[in-house]
């Protein structure tokens, strides 16, 4: 039995549960309990505050866990990052009053910075040879400058609207963060095997999300040119259409070069292009 710790409620809870579901893992009971068990995979799910997850994984209370890199790096526990999960994206940034003139990090020399991330802020200051006072607070960091508690703050940002509403501007990004799967450093061989199974499924789910299945029709004399535009998993499938002189082509495209290739395909004479999501992708 593998034990995973995920956030009980908050920004990572839903996406963590969704990922397990997409991996075909059914979790019967609700999230109000402290733990749940999967019905079709040897997995037990513990629900914790995200801040506690690295500690619990280090201690072996849970074997693996899902938390933001911001929390994992701040807590600095003896855990290993097994996989980046691509959700919970945000950045840890320094912000100051928007009326301040900020040229570079030297602005922070001798200033007071309010944050819930003292370790990461100190690392950033050391790297830049800045001496500043870190004032650790546990929440509502963004109001600190307004009430005279600090000159600057360091907090998580996604859209920046919270900063804006508090009259602040973002001046430095000290970490780009996303959710990661962390693991205990001394898992038994049986647990390692279960984790490998889970990771295999996670890879298939994530790969599928980054790829689209594409179908298109093309006149036969254009086939070579069109095939050269399609990277595909191996080589594209080509099927004759009922109308002579035409073929249907099937392939896989990655999200990144998607629009670029679609335009080239059209220019090369492709018609009736269909793009379909892929549910799982095993290579």
Residues forming contacts to ligand ATP in the complex (CB under 6 A) are: 7, 10-12, 49-51, 68, 70-71, 88, 90, 156, 158, 177
Which of 51, 50, 7 lies closest to 31, judged by CA?
A: 7
Quote the least distance from Cβ 156 to Zn ion, whole Å.
Answer: 10
Separation CA 38–CA 6 (nearest Å): 14
Q: In this chain, which stretch among 32-40, 47-55, 151-159, 173-181 interacts with Zn ion, using CB under 5 A?
A: 47-55
Quote the least distance from Cβ 51 to Zn ion, whole Å.
Answer: 4
Residue owning tokens 């594209």: 236
Number of alpha carbons in the 13 Å side-chain half-sphere of residue 247: 14
Quote the least distance from Cβ 10 to ligand ATP, whole Å.
Answer: 2
Q: Which does 272 bind (CB under 5 to 8 A by kind): ligand ATP, Zn ion, none?
A: none
The residue number whose beta carbon is nearest to Zn ion equals 51
Separation CA 157–CA 142 (nearest Å): 10
Q: Which does 236 bind (CB under 5 to 8 A by kind): Zn ion, ligand ATP, none?
A: none
Q: Which does 116 bind (CB under 5 to 8 A by kind): Zn ion, ligand ATP, none?
A: none
Q: What track of x and - describes contact with Zn ion for positions 51 through 80 (by CB under 5 A)? A: x-----------------------------
Cβ atoms of 46 and 174 closer than 8 Å: no
Helix ranges restricted to H, 76-188: 118-127, 161-165
User: How many residues form the binding site for Zn ion (CB under 5 A)?
Assistant: 2
Quote the least distance from Cβ 49 to Zn ion, whole Å.
Answer: 5
Cβ atoms of 94 and 163 closer than 8 Å: no
- For the purposes of burial, counting CB atoms within 10 Å of the CB of 71, is it exposed (0-12), middle (13-18) or buried (19 or more)? buried
What DSSP assignment string belongs to 213-282? EEEEEEEGGGHHHHHHH---SSS-EEEE-SSTTEEEEEEEEESTTHHHHHHHHHHTT-EEEEEEE-S---
Q: Which is nearer to ligand ATP, 91 or 191 (CB)?
A: 91
Q: Which is nearer to ligand ATP, 175 or 230 (CB)?
A: 175
Q: Which does 76 bind (CB under 5 to 8 A by kind): ligand ATP, Zn ion, none?
A: none
50 is a site residue for Zn ion (CB under 5 A): yes
Chain positions contacting Zn ion, by CB under 5 A: 50-51
């Amino acid at each position: 039995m593998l034990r995973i710790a995920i956030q009980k409620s908050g920004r990572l809870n839903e996406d963590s549960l969704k990922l397990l579901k997409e991996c075909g893992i059914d979790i019967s009971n609700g999230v109000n309990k402290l733990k749940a068990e999967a019905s079709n995979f040897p997995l037990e799910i513990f629900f914790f505050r995200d801040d506690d997850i690295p500690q619990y994984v280090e201690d072996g209370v849970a074997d693996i866990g899902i938390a933001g890199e911001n929390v994992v790096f701040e807590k600095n526990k003896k855990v290993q990052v097994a996989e980046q999960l691509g959700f919970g994206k945000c950045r840890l940034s320094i912000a100051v009053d928007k009326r301040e003139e900020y040229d570079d990090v030297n602005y922070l020399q001798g200033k007071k910075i309010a944050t819930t991330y003292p370790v990461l802020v100190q690392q950033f200051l050391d790297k830049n040879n800045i001496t500043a006072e870190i004032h650790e607070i546990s929440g509502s960091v963004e109001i600190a400058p307004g009430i005279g508690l600090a000159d600057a703050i360091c907090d998580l940002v996604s859209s920046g609207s919270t900063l804006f509403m508090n009259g602040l501007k973002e001046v430095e990004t000290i970490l780009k963060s996303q959710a990661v799967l962390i693991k205990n450093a001394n898992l038994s061989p049986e647990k390692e095997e279960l984790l490998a199974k889970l990771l295999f499924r996670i890879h298939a789910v994530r790969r599928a999300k980054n790829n689209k299945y594409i179908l298109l029709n093309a006149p036969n004399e254009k086939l070579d040119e069109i095939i050269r535009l399609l990277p595909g998993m191996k080589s594209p499938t080509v099927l004759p259409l009922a109308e002579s002189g035409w073929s249907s082509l099937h392939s896989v495209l990655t999200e990144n070069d998607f629009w670029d290739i679609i335009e080239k395909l059209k220019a090369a004479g492709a018609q009736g292009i269909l793009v379909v999501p892929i549910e799982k992708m095993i290579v």
